[in-house]
Chain A
Amino acid sequence: MRVHVDYDRCEGHGLCTEQAPRLFSLDDDAELTYHAEGSDVPADQQALARAAIASCPVAVLRESS
């Protein structure tokens, strides 16, 4: 699986970083970095990635294949 991030709509709440801290992080200005951009989510991180997708209050994270 891959995760698509709609950065334009991201509000920097950072709830995804609490669910999957190895995949998502926020810098000091609450700008989101997705660490698996352009590659498949590692198998051991997929459940966490889905939890992160579900945690976003503005639904800017999507699963893509």
Chain B
Amino acid sequence: MTRPGAVVIVGESIAGLTAARELRARGYDGTITMVGREPEGAYARPPLSKDVLRDAAAEPGLAYPCADLDLQHVRSPAVALDCPARTVTTEDGRAVSYDALLVATGAAARRLAAPGQRGELVLRTLADARAIRERMDLAASVVVVGAGFLGMEVASAAVARGMEVTVIDTEPPLRRLLGPYLSGRLAARAAAAGVRTHQVAGPVGLVGDPVDGVALPDGRTLTADLVVTCAGDVPAVDWLSGTPLANPAGIAIDERCSTSLPGVFAAGDVARLGPPSDRGTGRTPFWSSAVAQGKVAAASMLGQESPLLPIDDYFWTEVLGLSVKVAGPLPPDGGPTSVEGDVDAGDALLRWDRPGLPTTVVAFGRKVPVGRLRAIARDGDTTTEEKP
């Protein structure tokens, strides 16, 4: 592919912004148009479920600077893609032409409300986080639907704010993502902090209009001042309807972040590398993978090779004030093969070493640089620590 005359990036996500920066770093000096739906532009999303829920003062620090990148901004949602004409149409009626297009529209929260039922709270955007925080200012109790990492981060913020917290899921907290050992440890930590967890046998529903409770499969209803749905995410492909990319399981990409359409690439939470797996969706909707895919996609848009793989299995979360950082495949099965430090005290380095396979390594409340975690996961060897 020759150098594109015009690059369009749909989605002011970390994948989209990383791609823009990588295009400039690779010397591309043509037009880059960023199409975004949020008035704030690009900002850091990981703090939304942590600092931002606790304190409005965290908001001003979130914006990512991009003035040095000479970007054209269109702040209106993309509503259609015309592949033969190579244009993206936005809600405010603009038709933006591209030679190379990156779809980085991320994912939307999966919702549980019935059609027409108002007041469901979810957490994907700054506006969502602000709405939850403002409700928390007035609330004494919260029910969180979903005990994945987002649900447990919301629960943690609510505990820090002195609220009474109940978490509902069909599985123990963080079990799907982090496996039985870490799930058990973190569930115990949550219980000690006063979080009540309800393991339910099947899907729950929301009650009230506006929503003020959760209907459990056994017929009981839990009510609270606040109900927050943290029930997973769905790739934001609705605007691509009528194209082969509008797959609700995510846009299939190859290792160059190419899609099935010429000149169209995808990166981040909207994308799926490989077929849907048995266990999950085949997506890796984590921050570090979005960054890796943004970089690879930028190289591919320029017809260049990237030395990187479009995956990065560094992941972190924060549970009741304890930071958990992971490198390597998830979820680790069984217990760790080695423990350095004190797990009960929240200061340990845990390893799952398996012959012939990448190591999973977890910094459990211990500060360990990501470079060292990645080196352990890659080499299974603590002695080859990466030094700058």
A-B Cβ contacts below 8 A, count: 69
Given contacts A50-B68, A54-B21, A60-B61, contact A12 B287 (CB under 8 A): no
Given contacts A9-B61, A58-B44, contact A17 B371 (CB under 8 A): yes
Does the CB pair B316–A59 fall under 8 Å? no
Is B51 in the interface zone, CB < 8 Å from A? yes
Residues of A within 8 Å of B, CB-based: how many? Answer: 30
Q: Which of B61, B65, B66, B371 touches A14 (beta carbons < 8 Å)?
A: B371
Q: Which of A18, A31, A57 touches B287 (beta carbons < 8 Å)?
A: A57
User: What is the CB-to-nearest-CB distance from A57 to chain B, in angstroms, rounded to a whole number?
Assistant: 5
Is B388 in the interface zone, CB < 8 Å from A? yes
Residues of chain B within 8 A of A9, CB atoms compared: 51, 58, 61
User: What is the CB-to-nearest-CB distance from B125 to chain A, in angstroms, rounded to a whole number?
Assistant: 15
Given contacts A15-B370, A30-B368, contact A21 B44 (CB under 8 A): no
Q: A31–B366 Cα gap in the complex (Å)?
A: 11
User: What is the CB-to-nearest-CB distance from A40 to chain B, in angstroms, rounded to a whole number?
Assistant: 16
Is A51 in the interface zone, CB < 8 Å from B? yes
State the majority secondary structure of interface residues on B.
helix
Does the CB pair A13–B316 fall under 8 Å? yes
Q: A8–B386 Cα gap in the complex (Å)?
A: 25
Does the CB pair B388–A11 fall under 8 Å? no
Q: Which of B47, B367, B388 touches A58 (beta carbons < 8 Å)?
A: B47
User: What is the CB-to-nearest-CB distance from B324 to chain A, in angstroms, rounded to a whole number?
Assistant: 11
Does the CB pair B43–A59 fall under 8 Å? yes
Residues of chain A within 8 A of B43, CB atoms compared: 59
Q: A6–B58 Cα gap in the complex (Å)?
A: 11
Is A41 in the interface zone, CB < 8 Å from B? no
Type the 1/0 row for B35-66, where 1 means its CB is closer than 8 Å to any CB of A. Answer: 00000000110110001000000100111111
Given contacts A13-B316, A59-B43, contact A53 B65 (CB under 8 A): yes
Give A contacts to B, CB under 8 Å: 6, 9, 11-15, 17-18, 21-22, 24-26, 29-31, 47, 50-51, 53-60, 62-63
Given contacts A14-B371, A54-B65, 18 further A-B contacts (CB under 8 A): A9-B58, A12-B368, A12-B369, A13-B316, A13-B325, A13-B370, A15-B370, A18-B371, A26-B369, A30-B368, A53-B64, A54-B17, A54-B64, A56-B44, A58-B51, A59-B44, A62-B65, A63-B65
Give B contacts to A, CB under 8 Å: 17-18, 21, 25, 43-44, 46-47, 51, 58, 61-66, 68, 287-288, 291, 316, 323, 325, 367-371, 388
